[in-house]
Homo-oligomer: A and B are copies of this chain.
Amino acid sequence: MPELRKDPVIGRWVIIATERAKRPSAYVQNREKPKQGFCPFCRGQESHTPPEVLAYRDAGSPHNGPGWWVRVVPNKFPALQIEGPLKRTGEGMYDRMNGVGAHEVVIESPEHNMSLADHSPKQVQEVLWAFRDRVIELKKDQRFRYIMIFKNHGREAGASLDHPHSQMIALPIVPKRVQEEIEGSRRYWDYKERCVFCDIIHQEEKDQVRMIMENASFMAIAPFASRFPFESWILPKEHSLYFHEIQKNQLVDLAELLRGLLARMKEVLEDPPYNFMVHTAPFEHNGIPYYHWHIEVIPKLTSVAGFEWGTGFYINPTPPEDAARYLSGKVADIQEIQASQIH
C-alpha cells in the first residue's frame, strides 16, 4: 500500500509508492519518449480500464461499453488506495500514515486527438459537470478532507497517456499549499475585512492591464506576481467558497472561458504542455468568509531549477502584463518581432 510520510522539518507530506517502486533503470528508459500504440481511453477499449464510476452516455448503451461522451474510472495505478481505515504511526522521530484516498481519471471525450481547446463549449461543460458530480460523491466519504482536481497536458507536464484526461485525488489531509492559501486569505480578511480574491477581481477590472478575457460570471487574468510565463488564473466574479457549488449558468460561462483561454494558449504558444488545478476550500472550512475558489493554469515553458527549489521563489522572464496582451489577442507576436527588427 502506498504510504504518506511527513517531512520532520517543513511538515510537508509526501506520497511514497511502496508497491510498484521504480528502479533506476526505469527512469533511464523513461527519457526516450514511449511510442504511442494502443490507447485504453479510446472508444471501444472500455474493458481495458477499471470499471467506470460515472459515465455520461447514450440512453441504453451498456456500462463499460461504447456510447459515452465523458467517462470517469479509477486510476489503474493509483497514487492512493481506496480501501481501509486511516492509521497514523511513528518511527522514531518520523511520522507516517497509510495511503488511503481515491484517485480517478476523467476521460474528457472518446476522441484521442481532441483536447479541451478543440471541443465545443458544450463538451467542456460536460467535463465540468463530471468534476462536480464526482466531488459531490467522494465528499460523502468521511475519511477525505480534500479533493484536488487537476490536468496534465503533454508529456513535459506529466501526462503519461496522450488521450485527453483530467484527474481527481481525494486526500485524507488538507495539503500544505491549500493550507497556505487559506491562511493567507484569512490574514488579509483579518486586516481588511474583505476577501483578497474579490479585491484582486476589483483591481484587475479597474487596471485592465492583466485581463485576458471575461464574461458575465468569470474572468481570466495573468496574476500580478505570476511565477511562470503565461500563468493564468480563472476567477468566479461572485464570491464563492467551493467549486462544487457552482450554478448551471455559471458553469456554462466557465466552460466558455476555460475553453477560450486554452484555445488562445494553444494558438499563441503552439500547443504548449500545461497543467491546470482547481483550488477550492477544504470541506471542513464550510462557512468561512475569506476563501474564493479559482483555477490556475500553468503552461510549462521553463524548467524549475535550483534557485526555485532552494528558495521557493520564481524567476519569470515574461511580465504578466505582456502575457495578458498576447493571450487576449491585443498584440500578435509575429507583428512585434517584425516591428522590433525595423528599429
Tell whether, in the assembled complex, residue B23 and residue A312 are in contact, meaning their CB atoms are under 8 Å apart: no
Tell whether, in the assembled complex, residue A269 and residue B28 are in contact, meaning their CB atoms are under 8 Å apart: yes
Task: Give bound CA distance, A280 to B238, whole Å.
Answer: 44
Interface residues of A in 146-164 (CB under 8 A from B): 146, 148, 150-152, 155-159
Interface residues of A in 294-324 (CB under 8 A from B): 296, 298, 300-307, 309-320, 322
Tell whether, in the assembled complex, residue A304 and residue B158 are in contact, meaning their CB atoms are under 8 Å apart: yes
Tell whether, in the assembled complex, residue A22 and residue B306 are in contact, meaning their CB atoms are under 8 Å apart: no
Interface residues of A in 1-44 (CB under 8 A from B): 5-18, 20-25, 27-28, 30
Q: Tell me the nearest residue of chain B to A181, going by C-beta.
A: B9
Interface residue A115 (Cβ < 8 Å from any Cβ of B): no
Interface residues of A in 37-94 (CB under 8 A from B): 79, 92-94
Q: For residue A269, which residues in chain B have a CB less than 8 angstroms away from its CB? A: 24, 27-28
Task: Give bound CA distance, A203 to B8, whole Å.
Answer: 12
Interface residue A207 (Cβ < 8 Å from any Cβ of B): yes
**Known interface pairs A14-B225, A94-B203, A303-B156. Does A28 touch B311 (Cβ–Cβ under 8 Å)?**
no
Interface residue A236 (Cβ < 8 Å from any Cβ of B): no
Q: For residue A7, which residues in chain B have a CB less than 8 angstroms away from its CB? A: 223-225
Interface residue A242 (Cβ < 8 Å from any Cβ of B): no
Q: Which of B6, B17, B30, B92 contacts A225 (CB under 8 A)?
A: B6
Interface residue A121 (Cβ < 8 Å from any Cβ of B): no
Task: Give bound CA distance, A151 to B310, whole Å.
Answer: 10
- Chain multiplicity (copies): 2
Interface residue A199 (Cβ < 8 Å from any Cβ of B): yes
Interface residue A260 (Cβ < 8 Å from any Cβ of B): no
Nearest-neighbour CB distance to chain B for A319, whole angstroms, equals: 5
Q: Tell me the nearest residue of chain B to A27, going by C-beta.
A: B301
Interface size on A, residues (CB 8 A): 100
Tell whether, in the assembled complex, residue B177 and residue A310 are in contact, meaning their CB atoms are under 8 Å apart: yes
Tell whether, in the assembled complex, residue B314 and residue A14 are in contact, meaning their CB atoms are under 8 Å apart: yes
Task: Give bound CA distance, A307 to B151, whole Å.
Answer: 8
Q: For residue A146, which residues in chain B have a CB less than 8 angstroms away from its CB? A: 311
Q: Which of B12, B148, B197 contacts A307 (CB under 8 A)?
A: B148
Q: For residue A138, which residues in chain B have a CB less than 8 angstroms away from its CB? A: none
Query: Can you report 14 residue pairs joining A to B where beta carbons are below 8 Å apart?
Result: A10-B180, A15-B313, A23-B318, A23-B326, A24-B268, A152-B303, A156-B303, A157-B305, A158-B303, A171-B311, A176-B311, A177-B313, A275-B306, A279-B310
